Amino acid sequence: GRSFTVRSVKAIQHGQPILICQASFQVLQPSPLQHQFPMPVVPQPENLLTIEELIQRYLSKPDLTENAKEGLNKLLANEVPIEIKPVSPAHFHRYAPGEPRRLFWARARGYIGEDNMKLHCCVAAYVSDFALLGTVLLPYSKYKAQFTASLDHAMWFHSTFRSDEWMLYECESPWAGSSRGLAHGRLWRKDGVLAATCSQEGVLRVKPVNGTSKL
């Protein structure tokens, strides 16, 4: 119909397919059908600390164990191309168990500009994969991941956005079982517009925090 097109890409490594991607595109078509969920009400990013600032605060605690210090320093050494400000830091880092839902503000480090929407989409895709599957583990503070792997990941872009400006990422997991977990994500512009939606299923094999046996 000259308004939609679909492209398929297969990535092959050593003669074996390791990734299959299908992308759908369309011509911009205004429609009277338009709605979205309301954006969650959360503190603004200007009032929150980045992960790096939070880690520095944790490291300054005199009663911190050596194992905890080692783990935090490893996190601090990771060079991540996005800035992150958790809405609930203890829940984000699984220091306190809770429902399988987390929210954090994210943006690219550095300036991208208004005219490079393809790069903004690439950054958003990176953000979408950054913490989505880990949301499944949030209620299970007694277990840690032994093996995780993404089985499929889908993303839908709804509106233009700037990934070098703060965006709210809302992650939730409606189901887990049989060593699999399903998670959904919504990426919000700061002005409340839903920019993108994503969904991911993955394998999650875990073990007790102080043990080695599989769950």
The domains of the chain are located at: 81-208
CA distances from 180 to 158, 187, 203 (A): 28, 23, 5
Sheet bearing 167-177, strands edge to edge: 82-86, 101-108, 167-177, 180-189, 194-208, 143-157
pLDDT at 35 over 90: yes
When pLDDT is cut at 50, 70 and 90, the band that residue 213 belongs to is very low
| pLDDT at 212 (0 to 100) | 42
The residues that are catalytic are 129, 150, 200
38-55 average pLDDT score: 94
Strands (E) in the chain, as ranges, are: 4-13, 16-26, 82-86, 101-108, 143-157, 167-177, 180-189, 194-208
Please give the CATH number for the structural domain made up of 81-208.
3.10.129.10
Per-residue pLDDT tens over the stretch 57-89: 888 888 878 877 887 788 787 788 999 999 998
| pLDDT at 190 (0 to 100) | 97
Tokens of 54: 């939070």
- Which of 69-73, 105-109, 161-165, 198-202 has the lowest average pLDDT? 69-73
| pLDDT at 215 (0 to 100) | 36
Q: Does this model's pTM top 0.95?
A: no
Between 28 and 32, the higher pLDDT residue:
32
Tokens of 142: 């007694």
Which H or E run contains 129?
A: helix 117-130
Between 158 and 131, the higher pLDDT residue:
158
When pLDDT is cut at 50, 70 and 90, the band that residue 96 belongs to is low
Between 6 and 60, the higher pLDDT residue:
6
Closest C-alpha among 155, 157, 167 to residue 191:
167
To the nearest 10°, report the CA torsion of 73, 78, 79, 85.
Answer: -70
- Which of 68-72, 79-83, 112-116, 129-133 has the lowest average pLDDT? 68-72
pLDDT at 214 over 70: no
Q: Residue 114: helix, strand or coil by DSSP?
A: coil
pLDDT at 97 over 60: yes
Beta-carbon neighbour count of residue 193 at 10 Å? Answer: 14
Give the gyration radius of the chain's Cα atoms.
19
